[in-house]
Amino acid sequence: IIGVEAYRNKVFSFLTESWEKLTSFVVQSDTITGSDIIIPVEPAFLPEGYEELERYTTDYEHTVIWVNPQGQEIVFSQILLSQSESIFDTEDANIKELDVSGNHVYILSEHNACQVHWLSGDCEFLLIGILSEDEIIKIIESISSASTD
């Protein structure tokens, strides 16, 4: 049995480069996830009124979409880390950094909508929707507590 500490000893470096109109999140790893398979986690908390619309899971990605009666969606994605880069359009967006449940979280918000990006363990996470900062924190905390149960 591999202990949590040994599992987390995979060295991941998370670099962020911000430009005027784009933000690049680069994940560099000293190991390739090749034979690893994602262990899906999901938030235990969602704002009131959201119901599952769609989900899909592969060996390397897990995504769930919820929708409320007004048609607003929340998208949650969990992606197994590898050598990758994500580029987000941040023109006219507000960028905020928070620490939530031991995770360094980036919130990119524009016109009431937000994209939330963070790393935890051997996965990167993305949360998209019209959410308050308080809701974002509760969702992330509920994922962290659910994955340690």
Report yes or no: 63 and 76 within 8 Å, Cβ to Cβ.
yes
pLDDT confidence of residue 27: 53
Residues 117, 126: Cα–Cα separation, whole Å: 5
**pLDDT value at position 89?**
59
Instruction: Give the C-alpha separation, 113 to 31, whole Å.
Output: 34
Task: Kindly list the averaged pLDDT for each block of 10 residues, start to end, along the chain of length 149.
Answer: 39 42 53 68 96 95 96 93 60 81 87 86 90 93 65
